[in-house]
Homo-oligomer: A and B are copies of this chain.
Amino acid sequence: MSQGTSKAESLRAGETEQSHVLSIPVQDQVPDRPPHGYERWLLSKLLRMAGSPPVRFELWNGERVEPENGQPRFTLRLTDPKALYQLVGNPNLAFGDLYASGRLQVDGDLPDLMTALYRAVHGARQGWPKWLEALWRNHNPRSTGLNEARQNIHHHYDLGNEFYQLWLDEAEMQYTCAYFESPDLTLEQAQLAKLEHVCRKLRLRPGQTVVEAGCGWGGLARYMAREYGVRVHAYNISKEQIAFARAEARRQELDHLIDYVEDDYRNIEGQYDAFVSVGMLEHVGKENYGELAAIIRRSLKPDGMALLHSIGRNRPMLMNAWIEKRIFPGAYPPSIGEFMGICEEGEFSVLDVENLRLHYARTLEHWMERFEANRDRVTELYDEHFTRAWRMYLAGSIAAFRAGSLQLFQVVFTHGENNNLAHNRGHLYQTPAAPEAG
């Protein structure tokens, strides 16, 4: 509980110790004064620069600033003048902060609003003058050196297992994109289908050895051991996740097949038939891609198969500033070209790339529905600010995947000399990857 509280505090803007995070004093008193004319002008200018989304502003005195064209589908309420200036000065960062602190309130479906904003801004930003790009640009993500990586991962993944259990799937606590091979799957089915899809892509056979970099709560390792009879070394630097993973492996009597190692992927030792990493590359940092390639290269047997599953981009772009600062420190999703650069660096042969972008939107919709159903408990564990911040994070992520701002790449590759390859990919589709419902 004390941990939960401390995390909630670090989320609250202006109360963090990290000096590079903007300090935003929370303003409790709503001012009586009416907005100035130039304040209304600033907001309508902001709407135009954002590509004229179907959004109106409502100010602290009830006055409204309507969009230029068409009917607004959403109303954004600003509770004080300072919120207005913060929003105009750095919308990337301030939008999430103001929402989390309740100084920006939303009428309308939050994921839909965020999707409309992503789409409008994407179309508009080509026309931005350089100074505006510079003013609003995302800041550089934090370092991902060995020590910083521990802090970054602790910040997010050690929020407490109970918190994640409130809204992740009950099957294997997967905090990564599920595989909705058909859209009507339950979240549990789709997460198991993802694990199965990954195993099929790796062409696992009983008795093989697998190393996993960044194993979360250990669900993939347990699935591989249970369903494919392989031995797994699974690395993670999140203390809480490793503890959970070990306990769960013991409970399922799989601990003789799985070695959960509380260590950084950079310390992986040995050679394996498969190298797999699901949802870690986002946290590796561009500056470490060369080292990651070398690690995979030395860890993979001559005919071993590797799979990296990661959020990515169509073009290089920094992580949304608010998410990088408040939610995922150090996060950077690689562009598809940067992703392939890892494979080039390791002299690997890329065999298969699959983009599961809309699967992540669907996954996040499930998560958000469960999160909302448990929001009172979340607020009890942390506080209202935390709950609103996570709601914004989930809604914004849904929007980013829907609007095509984020992608989800699964990339299969092997050593350049390996000729032990499948004739085709039909083995992925002979039977459904998802188990029957129930």
Contacts and interface: CB of A to CB of B under 8 A. Distances in A.
Nearest to A354: B352
A425 B421 CA distance: 19
Interface in A347-388: 347-355, 357-358
A175 to B, nearest CB: 22
A340 B336 contact: yes
Interface in A307-331: 314-316
Interface in A379-434: 402-404, 407, 409, 416-419, 421, 423-426, 428-430
Interface residues of A, number: 46
Given A181-B426, A349-B404, A344 B358 contact: no
A128 to B, nearest CB: 16
A425 B423 contact: no
Contacts of A351: 354-355
Contact of A424 (B181, B315, B337, B339): B181
A182 interface: yes
A343 interface: yes
Given A183-B423, A417-B119, A350 B355 contact: yes
B335 A344 contact: yes
A180 interface: yes
Contacts of A350: 314, 336, 353, 355, 407, 409
Given A119-B417, A429-B429, A314 B343 contact: yes
Nearest to A182: B423
- Of A119, A341, A416, which is in contact with the most chain B CB atoms at under 10 Å from its CB? A416
A404 B429 contact: no
A409 B353 CA distance: 11
A425 B417 contact: no
In the complex, the 6 A-B pairs of residues with the closest C-beta atoms, listed nearest first = A353-B353, A426-B429, A404-B416, A337-B340, A429-B429, A181-B424
Interface of A: 119, 122, 179-183, 314-316, 335-337, 339-341, 343-344, 347-355, 357-358, 402-404, 407, 409, 416-419, 421, 423-426, 428-430
